[in-house]
Amino acid sequence: MYRLFLILFLTFFCCFNLNAESLKNGVYFTGLSGGSYNFDSKLKIVRPSESYTIDGNYKSRSFTDSPYWAFRVEKWTDDIAYGIELIHHKVYLSNPSESLETFHISDGYNLVLFNKVWRLKDREFFRMGIGGVLAHPHVKFTDSDVFHRNSGLGNAGYFLAGPALQVAFEKWVYETERYFFTLESKLSLSAIQMPVEANQESYASMSNVAIHFTFGMGSKPINWSSSRTQDKIYYFAPAFFPKLMDYTIGYGLHELVTNN
């Protein structure tokens, strides 16, 4: 499945040429859909009664449950931009063992990143980001209840779990006066430690290395700078792009994964 995804992505990435106006200074808002692949890593479980390490194999299930999405806002000045990005990444342990029955971070292995971006060519960009992981664990041991909510930030189950980094390469593949469509490949690296039971002495720690492939829609500064209210509203159109992709392309990919 991921080989097919990669082939389609690279084909789409390389086949477009543009003849539209160049990037202009201002604030750009982008919504992205896509998927990720998690590399194997060790998962350490510590509880008052036991401690062990699993050679973890992880799935991302980017098109099921709560699908993969990302949003970012970046301000361009000449050939450099700074911004913030939120990536809804996910991690599902596929080989639980010992007393661990279920382990996944599916309501978000969320990457919150502060980015710096360099323009390589007119519509090609290199991005680096640093930030942290906002994790929402869903953990079940054979001898305890599910650890899921009623804890963490705002009592909503989210925890500031550790640092994160990313490097990415982006290319605009189509644009109009007000919007653009973009493809991006990125590598993320992170490490976390988070509670796994109401007993705060119990925790899990792991590292995560993942590759991401995304397709997005972005809004240009001309929408926001317009004097017309409707243009300012249209500026936020990319906010609906990930959900649209989930209902269309994402559904098809989910069926492909399910049937193969």
- CA angle 235–241–246, rounded 5-degree value: 165
CA atoms within 13 A on the CB side of 202: 16
Dump pLDDT digits (tens) for 179-218. Answer: 999 999 999 999 999 998 887 788 999 999 999 999 999 9
Q: Which residue has the higher pLDDT, 259 or 119?
A: 119
pLDDT higher than threshold 80 for residue 21: no
Q: Residue 88 in contact with residue 66, Cβ under 8 Å?
A: yes
Enclosing domain of residue 46: 2-258
pLDDT value, residue 108: 85
End-to-end CA distance of the chain, in Å?
A: 8
Average pLDDT of the residues in 234-254: 78
Residue 87 and residue 242 in contact, taking contact as beta carbons nearer than 8 Å: no
d(CA 158, CA 149): 8
Q: What is the mean pLDDT of residues 159-180?
A: 95
pLDDT tier, 22 (very low <50, low <70, confident <90, very high otherwise): low
Under 8 Å between Cβ of 167 and 186: yes
> Per-residue pLDDT for 3 more than 50?
no
Q: Is the pLDDT of residue 11 over 50?
A: no
Q: Which pLDDT does position 225 carry in this prediction?
A: 83
Number of domains composing the chain: 1
CB count in 10 Å sphere of residue 253: 21
- Residue 85 CA to residue 73 CA, distance in Å, equals 7
Q: At a CB cut-off of 8 Å and minimum separation 6, what does 169 contact?
A: 124, 125, 126, 127, 184, 185, 186
* Predicted local distance difference test score (pLDDT) of residue 148: 67
State residue 259's pLDDT score: 43
Q: Please enumerate in sequence order all residues whose Cβ is within 8 A of that of 100, keeping only pairs 6 or more positions apart, or say none.
A: 45, 54, 93, 139, 140, 141, 142
Give the residue ranges of DSSP H helices in the chain.
2-14, 221-225, 229-234, 241-245, 251-258
Dist CA 171 CA 132 (whole Å)? 25
Q: What is the pLDDT of residue 16?
A: 47
User: In 3D, which of 187, 197, 188 has the Cα closest to residue 133?
Assistant: 188
What's phi and psi for 241, nearest 5 deg? Answer: -65, -45
| Residue whose pair of structure tokens reads 């009664």 in the numeric block | 49
Q: What is the percent of the chain with per-residue pLDDT over 90, rounded to a whole number? A: 58
Residue 58 has pLDDT above 90, yes or no: yes
CA–centroid distance for 93 within its chain: 17
Q: With beta carbons less than 8 A apart as the criterion, state whether 6 and 19 touch.
A: no
